[in-house]
Amino acid sequence: MDELQKIICREIDSLGKPISFYRYLELALFHPIHGYYCRSSDRVGHRKEADFYTASSLGPLFGQLVLSAIKKLLKNESLLDYQFVEIGVESGSGISDSWGEDEFQETFAFGIQDKLKLTAQKKVVFSNELFDAQPFCRFRYLEGEGWRELGVHHKEGELQECLLESFSMEGVSVQHRFQEASTNQYHVDYPVGAEKLLKEILESEWTGLFLAFDYGKAWRSILYESPQGTARTYQNHQMGIDLLKTPGSLDITHHICWDHLEEILNENFFRDIKVLRQESFFMNFSLLAIEHIMQNTQKGIIGGRGTLMELLHPGNMGAKFQVLSGIKT
């Protein structure tokens, strides 16, 4: 048994009852020493030792497309009036490396485990695959009982999923979402952590552009079309479903709920709120950059056609990922 698993078992024993799945994920992903996102090893990239890759792993073209979209969304305002803030940066380098430091007034990069320090100034706040990496609650519908929250217990050190006797604090916070009945044994992995993070990001009441690339679903799709839930693991580019296997050593992710993130933006006075597929977003807002990349590729100056297809084609990242944007003035 590794050290993090021992820590989880000791916490369960000290409480004398199971911990919520949300708490389990806090430890598995963000324990300050042993959590998956707090380890020093590289997680992202095409190397076989990495666990997954993102659009940022494909080189500078992704950043160039994002910059082009930012300019159009802000209607060609001077970016020198804005701070650029990227949240969830891996290995200390963000997409701003693809365009340099002179595009914005200032540039800030926060790692996924960093404490946010945002001021009430004009900003572009950007993230790529950040919200799906937050802890979530697990729920199961049981005939005759309704929705029950799942937790984690252990038997002689072996972690096991179990039903909680009552909803956890995080479960209670979203209990109102579960008014409708479902089919027996239907699972929902509810993105509580994603919603908490967005509220934290918006606390300082900054103005400007919010831009998040991620994968998610509409609430009705989560509630009616994903009977096994959306949670899964990634290790060495292989997907799995055992969320309790060797905590701290593998990525655990889930689909976020776009509808509810849109609600939070709306409650914080953002406007022009949109959720678009990644290909549609770039085709609508980054066409100038796409044309420039294609022209230079045809001239043999840069080799960007393959990367562009990876980012835009519906069979690749184009449909798998969506983009949430909103503006506050």
Reported as a single tens digit per residue, the pLDDT across 97-135 is 888 778 999 999 998 888 898 998 999 999 999 999 999
Q: What is the DSSP letter of 62?
A: H
Number of domains in the chain: 1
Question: In the structure, what pLDDT confidence band is assigned to residue 325 with cuts at 50, 70 and 90?
Answer: very high
Query: Mean pLDDT across the stretch 77-85?
Result: 95
322 has which bridge partners?
A: 214, 277
Cα-based distances in Å from 55 to 60, 154, 308, 318: 9, 37, 10, 10
- pLDDT tens string 149-170: 999 999 998 999 999 999 999 9
pLDDT over 70 (residue 284) = yes
In terms of residue numbers, what domain contains 90?
Answer: 3-328
pLDDT confidence of residue 298: 54
pLDDT over 50 (residue 174) = yes
> Rounded distance, CA 136 to CA 32, Å?
18
> Rounded distance, CA 45 to CA 278, Å?
20
pLDDT over 60 (residue 83) = yes
227 HSE (CA, 13 A, CB side): 6
Structural contact between residues 56 and 255, judged by C-beta atoms closer than 8 angstroms: no
On average, the pLDDT of the chain sits at 90
pTM: 0.92
Which amino acid is located at 19 in the chain?
Answer: I
The domain that holds 168 is classified in CATH as 3.40.50.12710
Q: How many percent of the chain have pLDDT more than 90?
A: 71
pLDDT confidence of residue 255: 97
Which amino acid is located at 249 in the chain?
Answer: S
pLDDT over 80 (residue 42) = no
pLDDT confidence of residue 326: 98
- pLDDT tens string 84-101: 999 998 765 688 888 877
**266 is written with which tokens?**
């709306």
Query: Mean pLDDT across the stretch 32-46?
Result: 79
Of residues 307 and 79, the one with the higher pLDDT is: 79
- Which residues have C-beta within 8 Å of that of residue 280, sequence separation ≥ 6? none
pLDDT confidence of residue 30: 95
pLDDT confidence of residue 240: 93
pLDDT over 90 (residue 306) = no
Of residues 59 and 51, the one with the higher pLDDT is: 59
pLDDT confidence of residue 315: 76
Expressed in angstroms, the distance from the first to the final Cα of the chain is: 52
pLDDT confidence of residue 300: 47
